[in-house]
Structure 1
Amino acid sequence: MAKPKNILFIMFDQLRWDYLSCYGHPHLQTPNIDKLASKGVRFDRAYIQSPLCGPSRMSTYTGRYVHSHGASWNNVPLKVGERTMGDYLRDLGMGCWLVGKTHMKADAEGMARLGLEPDSVIGARVSECGFDVFERDDGMRPEGPDGFYDDGGALKYNEYLRIKGYESDNPWHDYANSANDGAGNVLSGWFMENSDKPANIAEDDSETPYLTRRGIEFIESRGDAPWCCHLSYIKPHWPYIVPAPYHDMFGPEQFLDVVRTDAERQTDHPVFGGMMKAPVGQAFSQTEVRDKVLGAYMGLIKQCDDQMEVLFDWLEKTGRMDDTMIVVTSDHGDYLGDHWLGEKTFCHDTSVRVPMIVYDPSAEADGTRGTVSDALVQLIDLAPTFVEIAGGNSADLDHVLEGQSLLPLLRGQKQLREYAFCEYDFSMTPLAKRLDLDTAEARLFMVTDTRYKLIEFGGGIRPMLFDRHDDPDELVDLGESDAHAGVMAQLSSALNTWARRPAQRTTITNETLRQTRSQRSTKGVILGAYGEADADADLTEKYRNRKAAPVRGA
C-alpha cells in the first residue's frame, strides 16, 4: 500500500455510535462500515465538541473548540477570520471539496467590512467554511409561514428530482421526506406518526444514494491531483422517514431497550428536567412515538451502510483504496427517548459520543489494522490529522489547532489525552427564557476522563456527575454526592485549566514565542541600564560618541 495522498472524510448526521454492529448493536447489521473498521482503527471513545449540528461541525472543520471559534449554535456565523481545514490543506497543495452538508452560515457582515465579495474565489471559500463546493446540500428545505428555513437548501437535489419526474414546488419534502396515501395526499415526514410509512420516492433517488453518486462523480473529476473530499451525508437525521424496502426492515423485537428511569424523570435539576419538558422530549417519552421512529432510524442507517458498499467497492475497483485515507464519523448522536429526551443538545454519551473509524492505507498503519482504540479522541483531532496526511506538521499550527493528530495512534504509538471537552450554548432556546438565564449564563460545559463525566452550568445551577464505570448508562446523577466531592473538584479544576488556555492567540506561533524568550532586543530599546557599562556594548553602539549642537536655552 502507498502512503495516502487523498482523504475521504465521511460524516453522517445524527448517527449514534451504538447503532453500528461493529460497536455492538445486536440486530442492526452494518457489514460495510464494519469492513472498513477491520482495515483501520475503530475509536471507542470519540467525543464531539458540541451536541448540535452547526457548532459541532464548525469545531471539526476549524480544529478548535466552540468558544474559540464562536459559532455556538445553528446559524451563528463562523467568524470571517477563522481558518479551516480547507485553508490548511490548500496551503499544502491539497484541494479540499464539499459534497453534502456543512450547516455553515457565512459571516456576511464581516465579509462586507473586509470587502470580500461572496462570488470571488476567496469570498466563496469564506462563505463555505473553507471548502470549494462540488455540491452543498444541507438536506433542509422545510417551509413555514415566514418562508424557507434555508433559502439555499436542497436546490440542486430538488432540480434533480424534478428532472426525474417528481413534480412539486418542493419535492425534497413532498417525495423524499414524506409518504403518500395512494390517493395523492402527502403524508409529511415531519409528523412522526408517518415514520413507519415508506417515503414516496424510488430508493435510488433518495438523498443517501444521490449523495453517494455525487461523491463518486467528484472523485472521478479529480484526476491525479491530491484531494480531500468531505462527503457529508444528511441522514439518519430527521425527518425520520425512509423509502422502501428500508421502511419496514426493523420492528420492536430488534429495537434496543430504552435507557431511562423514573428517578431521572423526577430530577430537580433545572436544565436536565427542563429539556425533558421540551416537546421533543415529551414526544419521545411515548412508546408509540419511539417505536415508529426507531424503525425508520434503523432503516436509514441500513441504507447508509448499503451505500458504503457501493462507495467502497468503487474505490477498490478504481485503486483509490490504496492511496486514500477514509474517515467515517458523525457530528453527534440522537437520544431517541433515552433519558426521557429526544434530539441531542445534552451530554449523555448517547448524544456526545460518536463512531469514529479511520482507515490509513500506509504501511506504517499495518500493525493497527482491525484494532479498537480506547484512547480519548475528539473530532477536532481530524484537522491536524489531515494536515499531516497532506505533508504538513500540525505542531507548527498548535497555536491555532486545538486537537491532536491521530497518526501516532493509527501507527502504533501511544498518545494519551487525559480529558475530552464538550460545550453547549443554549442562550437562544426557550429553556433559557423559562429559567430566566442571561445569555452569558445559559451555557454548559462537559469534561470527561476515562471514567467520570462532569457537567457544569452557568447561572449558579448545580453540576451533574456520572460514573461510567459503575453506571455505564449514566442513569445516576452524583452531582450532590459528598463521597464524590474530590472527583468533582479534580474534574472542575481540569475544566478551569482548559478554559484558561490562550485560544485566541492565533496570529503568532508558539514556537516564535518560545524563540523570543532567549533573543535580545537589537532594535535600540534598552531598559534597566543606569550607564553604558550596564548594557552590551554592541547594543549601545548607536548611542555612544554621538554629537549634536546644543539648543540655546535648553
Structure 2
Amino acid sequence: MPEHAPNVVILLNDHQAHYRHGWDDGPRVRRPQFDRLRGAGVTFERAYCQSPLCSPARRSIVSGRYPHSHGEIRNDTGTPFDEPTLFSELAAAGYAQYYFGKWHAGPGTAQDLGAEGFSYPSYNNPYTKPEYATYLASRGLPEPTIQVERSFHPPDWGEPLEGLYRQTGGWCNEHAIGVLQSPDDTHEAYFLANLACEQLDRLAAEDSERPFSMVVSFWGPHAPYFPTQRFLDMYPPGDIPPYGSVHDDLAGRTEVHWREGNHPMGAGDRLVQPSALSWQEWQRVLAHCYAQNTLVDDAAGRILDRLDALSLTDHTLVVWLADHGDAIASHGGHFDKRSYLTEEVLRIPFALRWPGGVAAGQTVRDRVGQIDILPTVLDAAGAPPPAGIDGASLLPLVRGEQGWRDEIVCETHGHGEKIVGRALIGSRYKYVAYDGIGEELYDLVTDPYELHNLTGSPEHHGRLAASRERLRDWRAATGDPTTPDGALSDTGRGTGA
C-alpha cells in the first residue's frame, strides 16, 4: 500500500456504451488509451450506470447514492446539494480540487462545490465560452467548422442542420453526423485535455505535498458525432456488420421500448418498424459514432501522457468511466436513449489504475456501479465514507478481501416523459419493472441482446416471483419511495441506506 494519500484523476466520458467493445463481431472500437489504463489496473466488466441519463447518473457519481435518494431524478431536476459529495469529503481530507468540463449533475457548477477550473451550469456548450476562444487564439487555431452529413432532428426542430455548420447554440448535443473540418485540437475533448495538462504542469511546478483531485468531464462521445477525418478513416462503414438487435421487432416487450423522437427513426414519438434507415445508412452513422469514441480516447491519452512526463503516475489513482451508455442502432434502430433500461444504455466502460494500490491486469466481473466511485476514492484517500450512502468501496473487492453484492439496481424516472422503472441485474438474469406498464425478464447469458422477454415462460415463473420480492426488499432497504398502492413514486426523495 502507498504510504501517502494518492492524487485522484477521474476521466468521465459522456454517453458511451460498454457493448461497443466487442459484443458484436465487427471492428472493435479502438480505445488504445483506455486499454493502456486498464492493462495497468483493473477492468470492471459488469459496470452499470445508476440511471441512463446525465444528471441522475452524474449525481450518483459525486454522491454515492441512488437517484431516488439524491433526488436529481431527471436532467436538470434542480435538487439542491444538501448531502455530502465527493467534493466536500475530499476537501475535508485536505485535497486541492479541480474540475474541467461538462457539469450537468445538478444546480450550479463544480466551482460552486469548491473545485477550481472550467465548468458551466447544466449541459451547456464549451465552444461558445471565452476560455475556449482564448485557447484557440493562443494556439493560432481556427474556429471549428463541421461539414454536416445528416441530421436526425424532427422537421419542426428549428434551423436546418446542413452544410457547413458551427456549434453556437446553448447546448452542443445536436443529433447529427458530420466531419470536423478544422484540426483535432479544435474539438472540445482536446481543449479540456489541454486545460487539465496545464493544471498538472502548475501542480508539478509547485511541488506541494498536498494531494489533488481532478475531474475531466468530456462532452463526447455523445452526439453530435463530428470526428475529424483521420478518425473516421479508421472505420470503413462496409466493415460494420448488423448489430445484434437492430432488426428487433420488440415482440413481447413493454411499451417503453417503442418511444423514439428522432427522425426518421421515429414518427409521432414512436419507433418506425422496420427501421427507417437501411443497414447501409446505419453503417455510416456507426462509423461516425465509433470514430468519435476513438477521438475522445486519444484526447484523454494526453492527460495520461502528462502524468507520465511529470512523474505523477505512480502517485495517482486514475478512474475512467462513462456517465451512461448509448442505444444507437439497438432494439429496432434507436438513436440516443429514452426511458428503457436496456444493457446498451446501462452498461458502461469502467477501469481504474493505482500503482501500488491495486494489482495490475485484473478483470472483475461482479456487478459494480457509479454509487461505488465516491466510497472507493475516499477509501484510497484514507477518508471515511459519509453516512447513508448506497455504494461501497471497490478496493476490498479487487484485493479479494471480501464478498460483494449479488445484484445491482438501475433506475429510470423517465426521459422526456414520466416513466418510472427499476432494473435488478444479477450474474445471469435481469428483471425490469416499469410502474404501471409491465415487467421484463432476460437471461443475459443466452440472450445478451435482450430479445426474448421470459415473463410469459412458465418455467421462469418462480424466478420472476423471486425477482419481484428481491426488488421489493431493495426498495425497502434503500428508502425507495412508494405510493400508497405500492407503486413506485417519482415525486419523493428516499432516505438512503
TM-score band (shorter)? 0.7 to 0.9
State the AA in 2 paired with 1:30: R
Deviates more, 1:243-252 or 1:311-320: 243-252
What's the offset of the Cα at 1:21?
Answer: 6.8
**Residue number in structure 1 paired with 2:117:** 134
State the AA in 2 paired with 1:243: T
**Residue number in structure 2 paired with 1:186:** 164
CA deviations on 1:465-502 (whole Å, 9 max, x unpaired) are 11112212211111222321211222221211111125
Q: Is residue 201–residue 310 contact of structure 2 (8 Å, CA) maintained in 1?
A: no
Give the CA RMSD over aligned residues.
Answer: 3.4
Which residue of 220, 229, 235 maps to 1:244? 229
Q: Does 1:291 align with 2:283?
A: yes
Give the whole-Å Cα distance in 2 for the aligned partners of 1:41 and 1:244.
32
Q: Is residue 375–residue 393 contact of structure 2 (8 Å, CA) maintained in 1?
A: yes
Q: Does 1:306 align with 2:331?
A: no
What's the offset of the Cα at 1:34?
Answer: 1.0
CA deviations on 1:290-309 (whole Å, 9 max, x unpaired) are 22221111111221222243
What's the offset of the Cα at 1:458?
Answer: 1.2
Which residue of 435, 449, 452 maps to 1:473? 449
Q: Is residue 280–residue 343 contact of structure 1 (8 Å, CA) maintained in 2?
A: no
State the AA in 2 paired with 1:61: V
Give the whole-Å Cα distance in 2 for the aligned partners of 1:322 and 1:50.
33
CA deviations on 1:151-176 (whole Å, 9 max, x unpaired) are x9745325544666778xxx6xxx35
- What does 1:467-506 correspond to in 2, within 5 Å? 467-501=443-477, 503=479
State the AA in 2 paired with 1:229: M
**Residue number in structure 2 paired with 1:324:** 316
Which residue of 320, 325, 343 maps to 1:349? 343
What's the offset of the Cα at 1:40?
Answer: 0.5
- Structure with bigger gyration radius: 1
State the AA in 1 paired with 2:390: E
Q: Report the CA distance shift for 1:241/1:262 in structure 2 as closer, same or farther (over 3 A).
A: closer
Q: Report the CA distance shift for 1:462/1:18 in structure 2 as closer, same or farther (over 3 A).
A: closer
Which residue of 420, 423, 429 maps to 1:452? 429
SS of alignment partner, residue 297 of structure 1: helix
Q: Report the CA distance shift for 1:301/1:316 in structure 2 as closer, same or farther (over 3 A).
A: same
SS of alignment partner, residue 97 of structure 1: strand
State the AA in 2 paired with 1:203: D
Q: Does 1:422 align with 2:413?
A: no
Q: Is residue 65–residue 496 contact of structure 2 (8 Å, CA) maintained in 1?
A: no
Q: Is residue 12–residue 236 contact of structure 1 (8 Å, CA) maintained in 2?
A: yes
**Residue number in structure 2 paired with 1:523:** none
Give the whole-Å Cα distance in 1 for the aligned partners of 2:163 and 2:134.
22
Which residue of 172, 179, 191 maps to 1:198? 179
What's the offset of the Cα at 1:180?
Answer: 9.7
Give the whole-Å Cα distance in 2 for the aligned partners of 1:213 and 1:22.
33
Give the whole-Å Cα distance in 1 for the aligned partners of 2:80 and 2:239.
44
Which runs of 5 or more residues in structure 1 are unaligned? 108-123, 143-149, 433-438, 511-554
Q: Report the CA distance shift for 1:423/1:155 in structure 2 as closer, same or farther (over 3 A).
A: farther
Q: Is residue 11–residue 321 contact of structure 2 (8 Å, CA) maintained in 1?
A: yes
SS of alignment partner, residue 432 of structure 2: strand
SS of alignment partner, residue 500 of structure 1: helix
TM-score by length of structure 1 reads: 0.74
CA deviations on 1:77-127 (whole Å, 9 max, x unpaired) are 1323122110111111113321111213417xxxxxxxxxxxxxxxx76x7
Q: Report the CA distance shift for 1:478/1:504 in structure 2 as closer, same or farther (over 3 A).
A: closer
What's the offset of the Cα at 1:446?
Answer: 0.9
**Residue number in structure 2 paired with 1:528:** none
Aligned length: 456
- What does 1:146-545 correspond to in 2, within 5 Å? 154-161=129-136, 175=144, 179=148, 186-187=164-165, 195=177, 197-222=178-203, 223=206, 224=208, 225-260=210-245, 264-267=249-252, 269-275=254-260, 277=266, 282=272, 286-287=277-278, 288-340=280-332, 341-345=334-338, 346-362=340-356, 364-366=357-359, 369-394=360-385, 397=386, 399-426=387-414, 429=416, 432=417, 439=418, 442-459=419-436, 461-501=437-477, 503=479
SS of alignment partner, residue 363 of structure 2: strand
Q: Is residue 141–residue 186 contact of structure 2 (8 Å, CA) maintained in 1?
A: no
SS of alignment partner, residue 348 of structure 2: strand
SS of alignment partner, residue 29 of structure 2: coil
Q: Is residue 21–residue 30 contact of structure 1 (8 Å, CA) maintained in 2?
A: no
Q: Is residue 174–residue 223 contact of structure 2 (8 Å, CA) maintained in 1?
A: no
Indicate the structure with greater helix content: 1
**Residue number in structure 2 paired with 1:35:** 36
State the AA in 1 paired with 2:335: G
Give the whole-Å Cα distance in 2 for the aligned partners of 1:21 and 1:450.
19
Give the whole-Å Cα distance in 1 for the aligned partners of 2:432 and 2:137.
48
Which runs of 5 or more residues in structure 2 are unaligned? 151-161, 168-172, 482-492
SS of alignment partner, residue 219 of structure 2: coil
CA deviations on 1:41-70 (whole Å, 9 max, x unpaired) are 101100110001111111111110001011
**Percent of counterpart pairs with the same letter?**
24
Q: Report the CA distance shift for 1:402/1:313 in structure 2 as closer, same or farther (over 3 A).
A: same
SS of alignment partner, residue 107 of structure 2: coil
Q: Report the CA distance shift for 1:263/1:298 in structure 2 as closer, same or farther (over 3 A).
A: closer
CA deviations on 1:398-440 (whole Å, 9 max, x unpaired) are x3221010111232334311111111112x62xx4xxxxxx5x
TM-score by length of structure 2 reads: 0.82
Q: Report the CA distance shift for 1:247/1:132 in structure 2 as closer, same or farther (over 3 A).
A: same
State the AA in 1 paired with 2:350: M
Give the whole-Å Cα distance in 2 for the aligned partners of 1:415 and 1:379.
18
SS of alignment partner, residue 352 of structure 2: strand
CA deviations on 1:528-549 (whole Å, 9 max, x unpaired) are xxxxxxxxxxxxxxxxxxxxxx
State the AA in 1 paired with 2:277: Q
